[in-house]
Amino acid sequence: MTKTAWVFPGQGSQSVGMGADFQDLPGAKYKFKIAEKILGWSVLDICQGDESTLARTLYTQPCLYVVESILVDLLAKKTGLPQLVAGHSLGEYVALYAAKVFDFESGLRLVKKRAELMDSSAGGKMAALMKFDRSQLNAALAETDNVVLANDNSEGQVVISGTPEAVKKIVDKVKAKRIMSLNVSGAFHSPLMYEASAQFLRVLDSVSFNDAKVPVISNVQPTPAFGKEELKQRLAQQMTGSVRWREIMLQFTQAEITHIIEVGPGKALRGLLKRTCREINLRGVDTLEQLNTLEQFYSKGLVLSS
């Protein structure tokens, strides 16, 4: 029996030109127009502009939400809804839209506020560690204030977040094959985002949620949930909580998912899934051509990464 999950990438997966492939479709045109009214700027213009502007948090997050939401509409029309959805950080908002927890406009208003708050945050630092000793990292984090595990992406890849001084202490203590500083101003997914989170919650409180049509796995609580109050509470914790993607991936196997579609630009989530969920068929969708070849994906039963 085929069981499908959709996953949605977050900040860092954006690429110049995304969304252009379906900009002339009536449904997409409508959403781009609505987005421009809400945001005060054109998603298509930003997506087809220069890379540095698109990479700014203020623009990246709304652009990804709009483009991925349009892909959700196209995909749902072609295949119907999946059996499970999950998104990485910003991608969780698209997962909630896909599960019909809120409408497109409500989700975009939340993402707009989130992006503004995160873009204006300062004084923090984030660093990615690849191929490290997890027990050594856990011990170092336990001994160091003002730094946390922000993204637990896989067994061999994590992101830490905190003050610059605290992040440096961890980097100096823990041996890793590769350590990379992230180009962000704030300590995202850490308690240092508390003030921004408090401002965001005032906007979140004003948005009505519905029970999910398909179960959603949240970043801060990686178990499937349907209930509107639970999903809203989980989202309320996301800005200061860790992205527990490693545990989310294990849920796909537990739920006996056979196919996973990464809905959005890039291959970041498939790269992580390929190493963790080896028995699950993988596919990415961010163009009309990829949408039109989904039948081949389901019929062949092969692990695909195109």
**Residue positions annotated with a catalytic role:** 89, 189
User: Coil, helix or strand for 216?
Assistant: strand
Expressed in angstroms, the distance from the first to the final Cα of the chain is 23
Question: How do strand 84-87 and strand 216-217 relate by DSSP bridges?
Answer: parallel
Cβ 202 vs Cβ 179: under 8 Å: no
Is residue 196 classed exposed, middle or buried when 0-12, 13-18 and 19+ CB atoms within 10 A define those classes?
buried
From residue 96, give the alpha-carbon distance in Å to each of 105, 128, 162, 178, 196: 13, 27, 28, 33, 21
| DSSP state letter for 264 | S
CA 139-89-287 angle, 5° bins: 135
